[in-house]
């Protein structure tokens, strides 16, 4: 397919980070003509029948991630994309500034295991953070360096777990961004490996039973492609040190009569209880508990249904503490005697309030972290629910941490927001006094920028919050390049967090706007449910209304507005741009769920049905999904925004076929002159563990593509 893309580049300078049009627009306008020779994407005759409706799927062949034909298509698409990006005159300059903004020492909060204090540190541009340790105020030493796992940094460190005495250490690694992990055990003192490496572990924690072994979760290795084949039955195993993985004990799951897509198992800090959660989807879990102090004890059912999200957070003797949204959409904390743990016996420790609760324990206290309009408020309680104090925070933003061990006298937490790099504080649990433990070394002057929260009205009258961050003095004349970001699903809350890559956008004079859409968790379970299944359109309406607000209030205009989101947020961008293509200049869907009729047929995708429903559920659900599925709503003869789809070839959560098929549809049907590109990262997955070098390259490409297609010629 041969397409000529005319890119109108109005000469605009970003003077001091604030866009300013040059005086003589007539003489300064330059029309740059780039020839985009898109690869030919063949069509195949594949038709599915949904309740009597025939749906063509001409690009089904791109779902085969193991075929040479798909690999060749990826290579050809990347050549077009990277050739285009290389011609943008200021791409290298943006990459240089991103490199500078990322190049500072980053040190995580310390935590104690045995006689050592551990912490993560990145010297600046290391691809992966390094785990250090020290004794007291002694000289830190490298304990584990993930940068040695692979030459290009694409093998990353996943979860870690120490035994209670700190003598044994287990960690998982991901290769090429895959969700499939390996687990390695070592002697923490000598750093020598113990036993064989466990393989084919997925969606799993690592939880020790004394020093005997640990619990982990996985699926049977699927037939066919491990990156895309359906995985539908999760299982919990116990691995005893010194034995082969093939001899591991199946603890929970594996019954054909009752399948669970997600199973987790963990021990309480005192080692008394094994807690098992079983989920059919990403929302709602059954809950079981086992008394490990009695060898022959049986699993006791705490909840035998998936009507709530409920987890055991602590135990003291026979008393177990639970965090739950059962009869409390905004969450509450309850306690109950282990011997009679059913809900009718629960006693509230921290009752539900109007704000969403997330609780952690440390030093014999409960730290209640509330979300108030997507920002943090923290309160300290004793284990009986008696209020102790409010924890003073320096500003509106996000505070995270507040967890620790029962014996801890102090804990560490981090405060950040969109313009403020994270500062780590040390909190004395007894007195409540907080002191700065470590300030960020980020080379970013936050005083030059401001964040403000606004509330706008969605299509059905719902008030939705949005936080805007930009350089002070930015004129509200509709000319500021703006990225509108959203997610809107799976009870996920978008709270203010500093990012060096976003800081680069702010320095370029851009506005960064984050809308807290329905489907997220910002206002509890009801807010989440309002954006699920037959109410999913609410999410898209909220996002579109955010764009209209930004334009109406003079922050930006349609020709300076980009939309961005990843995963479920990639779906959000795909739906918004196909429903209102004239509203946006640039669309940036990342690792998106874009084929809503087939998403549930890949990997663990069927577990997302709580949010989406499935096309096989019933005719009404099929019709609803078909009406917004981005792949199925690209219309010939429509002018779509300049689009750069991004994905990873090893993404086994949202398989890249979603992005491949969407890009193919756009390239075939785009009626306008705007480019339609797909950027496919090789040896990369859904995003976790992405090496620093790749992050810098990705954002240099995203920002240069965005600004260039907004008509910004130089920076």
Residues involved in catalysis: 567, 686
32 vs 36: CA distance, rounded Å: 12
564 DSSP β-pair partners:
485, 588
Contact 38, 3 (CB under 8 A): yes
Which residue is it, tokens 């809503």?
Answer: 596
Farthest CA pair distance, the chain = 85
What are the backbone dihedrals phi and psi of residue 362, each rounded to the nearest 5 degrees, phi first?
Answer: -170, 135
Contact 399, 378 (CB under 8 A): yes
Length of the chain: 715
Which residue is it, tokens 């102790």?
Answer: 388
Contact 167, 214 (CB under 8 A): no
138 vs 124: CA distance, rounded Å: 23
456 vs 109: CA distance, rounded Å: 36
Strands 332-337 and 319-324: antiparallel
How far is CA 161 from its chain centroid? 22
CB atoms within 10 A of CB 305: 11
Contact 346, 357 (CB under 8 A): no
Rg, C-alpha atoms of the chain:
26
Which residue is it, tokens 């004239």?
Answer: 582
Q: H/E element holding 437? A: strand 434-438
Contact 464, 518 (CB under 8 A): yes
Strands 561-566 and 511-515: unpaired
248 vs 535: CA distance, rounded Å: 43
574 vs 82: CA distance, rounded Å: 22
- Which residues are within 8 A (CB) of 139 and not within 5 positions of it... i.e. 6 or more apart? none
Beta strands (DSSP E) in 472-518 are 482-485, 511-515
Contact 497, 477 (CB under 8 A): no
- Which residues are within 8 A (CB) of 518 and not within 5 positions of it... i.e. 6 or more apart? 458, 462, 464, 488, 527, 528, 530, 531, 535, 538, 539, 542
- Which residues are within 8 A (CB) of 227 and not within 5 positions of it... i.e. 6 or more apart? 65, 178, 603, 650, 651, 652, 655
Torsion of CA 685, 686, 690, 696, to 10 degrees: 110
């Amino acid at each position: 397919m041969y397409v000529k893309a005319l890119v109108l580049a109005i000469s605009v300078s970003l003077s001091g980070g604030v866009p300013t049009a040059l005086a003589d627009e007539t003489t300064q306008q330059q029309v740059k003509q780039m020839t985009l020779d898109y690869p030919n994407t063949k069509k195949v005759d594949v038709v599915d029948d949904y309740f009597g409706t025939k749906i063509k799927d001409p690009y089904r062949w791109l779902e085969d991630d193991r075929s040479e034909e798909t690999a060749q298509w990826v290579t050809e698409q990347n050549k077009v994309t990277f050739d285009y990006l290389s011609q943008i005159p200021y791409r290298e300059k943006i990459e240089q500034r991103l490199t500078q903004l990322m190049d500072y020492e980053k040190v995580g909060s310390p935590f104690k295991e045995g006689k050592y204090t551990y912490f993560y540190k990145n010297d600046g541009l290391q691809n992966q953070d390094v785990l250090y340790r020290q004794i007291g105020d002694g000289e830190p030493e490298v304990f584990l360096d993930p940068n040695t796992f692979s030459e290009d940094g694409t093998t990353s460190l996943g979860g870690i777990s120490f035994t209670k005495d700190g003598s044994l250490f287990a960690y998982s690694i991901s290769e090429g961004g895959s969700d499939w992990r390996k687990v390695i055990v070592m002697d923490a003192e000598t750093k020598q490996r113990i036993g064989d490496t466990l393989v084919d572990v997925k969606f799993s924690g690592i939880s020790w039973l004394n020093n005997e072994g640990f619990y982990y979760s996985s699926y049977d290795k699927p037939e066919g492609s491990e990156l895309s084949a359906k995985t539908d039955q999760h299982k919990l195993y116990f691995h005893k040190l010194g034995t082969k993985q093939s001899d591991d004990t199946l603890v929970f799951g594996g019954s054909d009569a009752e399948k669970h897509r997600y199973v987790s198992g963990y021990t309480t800090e005192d080692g008394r209880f094994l807690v098992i959660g079983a989920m059919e989807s990403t929302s709602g879990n059954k809950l079981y508990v086992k008394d490990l102090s009695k060898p022959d004890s049986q699993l006791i059912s705490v909840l035998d249904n998936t009507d709530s999200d409920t987890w055991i957070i602590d135990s003291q003797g026979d008393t177990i503490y639970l965090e739950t949204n059962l009869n409390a959409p905004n969450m509450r904390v309850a306690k109950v005697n282990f011997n009679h743990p059913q809900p009718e016996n629960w006693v509230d420790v921290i009752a539900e309030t109007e704000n969403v609760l997330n609780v952690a324990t440390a030093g014999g206290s409960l730290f209640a972290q509330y979300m108030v309009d997507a920002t943090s408020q923290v309160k300290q309680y004793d284990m009986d629910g008696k209020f102790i104090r409010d924890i003073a925070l320096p500003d509106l933003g996000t505070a995270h941490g507040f967890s620790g061990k029962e014996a801890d006298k102090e804990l560490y937490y981090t405060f950040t927001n969109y313009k403020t790099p994270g500062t780590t504080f040390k909190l004395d649990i007894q007195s409540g006094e907080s002191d700065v433990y470590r300030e960020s070394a980020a080379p970013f002057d936050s005083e030059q920028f401001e964040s403000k929260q606004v509330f706008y009205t969605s299509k059905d009258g719902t008030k939705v919050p949005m936080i805007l961050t930009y350089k002070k003095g930015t004129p509200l004349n509709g000319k500021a390049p703006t990225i509108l970001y959203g997610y809107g699903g799976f009870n996920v809350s978008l709270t203010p967090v500093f990012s060096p890559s976003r800081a680069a956008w702010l320095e370029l004079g851009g506005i960064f706007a984050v809308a807290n859409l329905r489907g997220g968790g910002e206002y509890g379970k009801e807010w989440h449910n309002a954006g699920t299944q037959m109410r999913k359109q609410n999410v898209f309406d909220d996002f579109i209304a955010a764009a209209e607000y930004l334009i109406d209030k003079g922050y930006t205009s349609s020709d300076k507005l980009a939309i961005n989101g990843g995963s479920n947020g990639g779906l959000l961008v795909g739906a918004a741009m196909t429903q209102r293509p004239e509203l946006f200049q640039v669309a940036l869907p990342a690792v998106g769920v874009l084929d809503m009729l087939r998403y549930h047929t890949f990997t663990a995708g069927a577990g997302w049905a709580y949010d989406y429903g499935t096309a096989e559920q019933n005719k009404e659900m099929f019709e609803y999904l078909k009406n917004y599925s981005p792949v199925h709503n690209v219309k010939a003869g429509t002018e779509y925004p300049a689009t750069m789809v991004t994905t990873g070839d090893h993404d086994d959560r949202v398989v890249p076929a979603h992005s491949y098929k969407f890009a193919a549809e756009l390239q075939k049907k785009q009626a306008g002159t705007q480019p339609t590109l797909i950027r496919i990262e090789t040896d990369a997955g859904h995003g976790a563990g992405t090496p620093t070098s790749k992050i810098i390259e990705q954002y240099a490409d995203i920002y240069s593509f965005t600004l260039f297609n907004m008509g910004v010629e130089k920076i």
